[in-house]
Each structure stands twice: as structure tokens, then as C-alpha cells.
């Protein structure tokens, strides 16, 4: 295979990065919207007295955590897409679909499905970190955020044995339902902490002052034109 000139190769990598961000961000939003609609339909199909509201809440929080986790990873690191990214993303989506489908099967079954979702979430985070490290676009930011993102991935993977342990326990259903909500909320909290620490890197006073100055110069340049 003939090699591309360096400038052409760099331009191609830029397009591949943009395609990865745009495609997966769009897919993430569409898939999440479809799953929320499916969740609503499943709830409305159940007899009102049999609707497991705590599991419904836990499922909704899990959906938000999945959407937020992928969106924020896409915002933080850029690299050309790989087949592993697609497989893990669709795997996570399929796992959440199964979780919603089994909403009326009881908390034990739901927790098993949640363990699968957590597995895909943690593995997907590690996979995106691997992609981010391989691309020079992320050389400046990766050393600052890699530790936090790796800890977030480990936290998601830690939910796997915890959920399976709860699923095989003899605890009453009400307690398991509450544990499901707490677990989903914790997943959101972990994601929010990591995101907050990452955003803080861009929110120093000198950075904000520099950005304001650049915006003023851009506005003045636009007025002169």
C-alpha cells in the first residue's frame, strides 16, 4: 500500500477524529432517546399496582450515566474510531435494552443485567483511554486526566461483583430495589466528580481571562471587517 504524504495523512487523521466524535455522539443520543422511550412504554404496559418504581428510577439513572459517560469521554479525548469502540458501545446499548426488557422480572434479574452494563461501561472507558493515549491530539491533556478516568473505569468495574453479590443474596426485594437506585446514583456521582475535575483544568482564572481576551479580539476583528 502506498503511503500518504505527511500533510495528507494529518488531514485524514483530523477527519477520522471528527467522524469518530460526531458519529458516536449522534449514536449515543439516538440510542439513549430510544431506550428512554422503550422504558416509558414498558412502564405504561405494566399494571399500575405492579410497576416497580424504584427499579424504573434506577434504570433511568443508569441510562443517564451511560449517556453521560460516553458523551464526556468523547468530549475529553479524540482519536480515530476502531472496531472495539463500536462493539463495546453496541454491547452496552444491548445490555441496557435487556435491563429495560426485564424490568418486571424482579430486582435479582435486574441486578444481573446491571452488572453486564457496568462491565461494558468500565471496559469501554479503558478502551477509550487506550485510544486516547495512542493519538498525539491528546498528548497535553491525557497525563492530567488519565488517572481520574482510570479510577472511574475501575469504579464501574467494581460494580460488577457488587451487583452480582446482591443478585445472589437473600435480601428482601424492597432492599434490593433501593440498592439498585443507590448503585445507579453512585455511578452518576463518580462520573460527575471526574467530569468536574476535568473541567476545572480549563477554568483557571488565567485561562478564562485569556479566552475573554481572545473573544474580544475576535469581535473587534469582525467589526473591522
How far is the C-alpha of 152 from the C-alpha of 156, rounded, in Å?
Answer: 6
C-alpha cell at 159: 460494580
Q: Which pLDDT band, with edges at 50, 70 and 90, does 7 fall under?
A: confident
Q: What is the DSSP string of 123-165?
A: HHHHHHHHHHHT-GGGTTTHHHHHHHHHHHHHHHHHHHHHHHH
159 close to 114: Cβ distance less than 8 angstroms: yes
Query: Number of H helices and number of E strands within the chain?
Result: 7, 0
Per-residue confidence (pLDDT) for residue 223, from 0 to 100: 54
Please indicate whether residue 156 or residue 6 has the higher confidence score (pLDDT): 156
Cell 473591522, residue located: 224
Cell 502506498, residue located: 2
Report the pLDDT averaged over residues 82-102.
89
Per-residue confidence (pLDDT) for residue 76, from 0 to 100: 83
Predicted TM-score of the model (pTM) = 0.84
What ranges do the domains of the chain cover?
Answer: 6-224
**Burial of residue 147 (number of CB atoms within 10 Å: 0-12, 13-18, 19+):** exposed
The Cα-based distances of 170 to 9, 98, 113, 114, 143 in angstroms read 58, 23, 18, 18, 44
**Burial of residue 106 (number of CB atoms within 10 Å: 0-12, 13-18, 19+):** middle
pLDDT in tens, 102-159: 988 889 999 999 999 999 999 998 998 888 888 888 888 888 888 888 888 998 999 9
pLDDT in tens, 15-67: 878 877 888 888 888 989 999 999 999 999 888 888 899 999 999 999 998 88
C-alpha cell at 40: 416509558
Per-residue confidence (pLDDT) for residue 143, from 0 to 100: 85
C-alpha cell at 21: 466524535
Per-residue confidence (pLDDT) for residue 222, from 0 to 100: 64
114 close to 99: Cβ distance less than 8 angstroms: yes
How far is the C-alpha of 149 from the C-alpha of 55, rounded, in Å?
Answer: 28
Element (H, E) at 55: helix 53-76
Residue 221 has pLDDT above 70, yes or no: no
CA 135 to mean position of chain CA atoms:
20
Q: What angle do CA 95, 100, 101 make, to 5 degrees?
A: 95
Which of the residue ranges 71-80, 166-175, 180-189 would you say has the lowest mean pLDDT? 71-80
Amino acid at each position: 500500500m502506498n503511503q500518504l504524504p505527511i500533510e495528507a495523512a494529518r488531514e485524514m487523521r483530523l477527519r477520522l477524529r471528527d467522524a469518530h466524535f460526531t458519529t458516536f455522539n449522534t449514536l449515543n443520543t439516538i440510542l439513549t432517546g430510544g431506550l428512554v422511550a422503550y422504558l416509558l412504554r414498558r412502564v405504561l404496559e405494566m399494571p399500575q399496582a405492579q410497576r416497580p418504581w424504584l427499579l424504573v428510577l434506577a434504570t433511568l439513572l443508569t441510562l443517564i450515566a451511560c449517556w453521560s459517560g460516553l458523551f464526556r469521554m468523547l468530549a475529553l479525548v479524540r482519536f480515530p474510531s476502531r472496531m472495539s469502540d463500536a462493539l463495546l458501545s453496541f454491547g452496552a446499548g444491548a445490555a441496557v435494552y435487556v435491563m429495560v426488557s426485564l424490568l418486571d422480572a424482579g430486582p435479582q434479574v435486574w441486578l444481573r443485567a446491571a452488572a453486564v452494563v457496568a462491565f461494558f461501561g468500565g471496559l469501554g472507558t479503558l478502551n477509550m483511554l487506550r485510544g486516547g493515549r495512542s493519538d498525539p491530539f491528546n498528548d497535553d491533556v491525557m497525563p492530567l486526566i488519565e488517572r481520574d478516568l482510570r479510577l472511574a473505569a475501575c469504579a464501574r468495574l467494581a460494580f460488577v461483583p457488587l451487583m452480582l453479590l446482591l443478585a445472589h443474596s437473600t435480601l428482601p426485594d424492597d432492599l434490593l430495589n433501593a440498592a439498585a437506585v443507590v448503585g445507579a446514583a453512585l455511578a452518576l456521582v463518580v462520573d460527575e466528580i471526574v467530569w468536574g475535575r476535568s473541567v476545572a483544568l480549563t477554568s483557571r482564572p488565567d485561562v478564562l481571562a485569556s479566552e475573554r481576551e481572545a473573544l474580544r479580539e475576535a469581535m473587534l476583528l469582525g467589526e473591522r471587517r
